[in-house]
């Protein structure tokens, strides 16, 4: 009898722990109509949008199967990586400068001294390669596990977030961004607020767009959210980029059209 009682208590406890996850695990609404935005751009990809505004449309996705498939995060990884660097003390704040090494690179914005804000804005890979060297692979892996980021694998060719084994899905990108938005990541409140501040792309009287691009050479990303008085709208898009650099403007173009279609952007 005691054994059955124990099992019952255990079952109830397990249900209580898991019930919130089961209750809030939201199956995305399939938006086949969004295919027109990808077709217009001649692009193959996926987008997941979570509309958390009061009276919002919930979670929606085009190409749900791909939304669950992992790819290299490329420079979208700069969002958590900047948090790792701040936490590890390899950069003090948004004002500390990292000296340019004098090596001329293909992107003009990279060829100058950088701080955290400029390195995010211009997506300066060499700054984050420096962070990775100072943090070290073991600590990088610990951070990835701590925040449950994608497959949590910092091994392979460097930089591991572009050329190596780190991978993440569009759905996982969205989940990570939601935790950052709510200051729920295992980092100081000040550092989480700082990262959100340097992610700002543009703003209007009643909205703020925070986002980050990424490109692995074969897959392009745009992830982030739009803040409104009634709540946020999160998004994560990835597309194939067979045309390489020529395909990169498609990331924002497709996403903006979709966000405008649900009145998340003006």
What's the pLDDT tens digit per position in 117-150?
A: 999 999 999 999 999 999 999 999 999 999 999 9
Confidence of residue 255 (pLDDT cuts 50, 70, 90): very high
Residues 134 and 90 sit within 8 Å (Cβ to Cβ): yes
Look over the chain and give the mean of its residue pLDDT values, rounded to a whole number: 92
CATH superfamily, region 28-261 = DD-peptidase/beta-lactamase superfamily (3.40.710.10)
pLDDT digits (tens, 9 = 90+) for 6-20: 334 433 333 333 443
Contact 182/227 with Cβ under 8 angstroms? no
Domain spans of the chain, in order of start: 28-261
Average pLDDT over residues 217-237: 98
Amino acid 244: pLDDT: 97
Beta bridge mates, 34: none
Q: 212 — phi, psi (to 5°)?
A: -150, 135
| In contact, 233 and 52? CB cutoff 8 Å | yes
> What would the pLDDT profile of 137-186 be if each residue is shown by its tens digit?
999 999 999 999 999 999 999 999 999 999 999 999 999 999 999 999 99
Query: Is there a catalytic annotation at residue 154?
Result: no
Q: How many other CB atoms are there within 10 angstroms of residue 211's CB atom?
A: 23
- The pLDDT-based confidence of 5 (bands split at 50, 70, 90) is very low
Residue 2 has pLDDT above 80, yes or no: no
The CA distance from 102 to 108, in Å, is 12
Report helix, strand or coil for 223. Answer: strand
Distances (CA, A) of 33 to 36, 39, 60, 62, 170: 6, 11, 11, 8, 19
Residue with tokens 């173009």: 253
pLDDT at 27: 87
pLDDT at 120: 97
pTM: 0.89
211 φ, ψ (degrees, to nearest 5): -160, 170
The single residue of 50, 75, 169, 216 carrying the catalytic annotation is 75
φ and ψ at residue 163, rounded to 5 degrees: -100, -15
Distance CA 84, CA 80 (A): 6
DSSP for 66-129 reads: HHTS-B--GGGGHHHHHHHHHHHTSS-SSSPPBPP-S---SSGGGSS-B-HHHHHHTT-HHHHH
């Amino acid at each position: 009898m005691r054994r059955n009682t124990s099992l019952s208590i255990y079952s109830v406890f397990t249900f209580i722990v898991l019930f919130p996850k089961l209750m809030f695990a939201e199956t995305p609404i399939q938006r086949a109509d969004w295919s027109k935005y990808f077709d217009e751009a001649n692009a193959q990809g996926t987008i997941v949008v979570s509309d958390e505004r009061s009276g919002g449309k919930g979670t929606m996705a085009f190409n749900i199967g791909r939304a669950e498939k992992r790819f290299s995060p490329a420079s979208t990884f700069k969002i958590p990586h900047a948090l790792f660097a701040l936490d590890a003390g390899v950069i003090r704040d948004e004002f500390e400068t990292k000296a340019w090494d004098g090596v001329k690179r293909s992107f003009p914005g990279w060829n100058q001294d950088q701080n955290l804000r400029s390195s995010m804005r211009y997506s300066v890979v060499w700054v984050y390669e420096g962070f990775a060297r100072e943090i070290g692979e073991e600590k990088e892996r610990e951070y990835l596990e701590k925040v449950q980021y994608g497959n949590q694998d910092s091994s392979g060719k460097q930089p591991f977030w572009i050329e190596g084994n780190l991978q993440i899905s569009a759905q996982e990108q969205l989940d990570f961004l939601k935790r950052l938005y709510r200051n729920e990541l295992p980092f100081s409140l000040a550092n989480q607020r700082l990262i959100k501040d340097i992610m700002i792309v543009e703003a209007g009287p009643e909205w703020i767009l925070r986002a980050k691009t990424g490109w692995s050479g074969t897959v392009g990303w745009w992830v982030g959210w739009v803040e409104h008085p009634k709540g946020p709208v999160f998004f994560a898009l990835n597309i194939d980029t067979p045309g390489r650099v020529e395909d990169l403007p498609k990331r924002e173009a497709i996403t903006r059209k979709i966000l405008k279609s649900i009145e998340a952007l003006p």
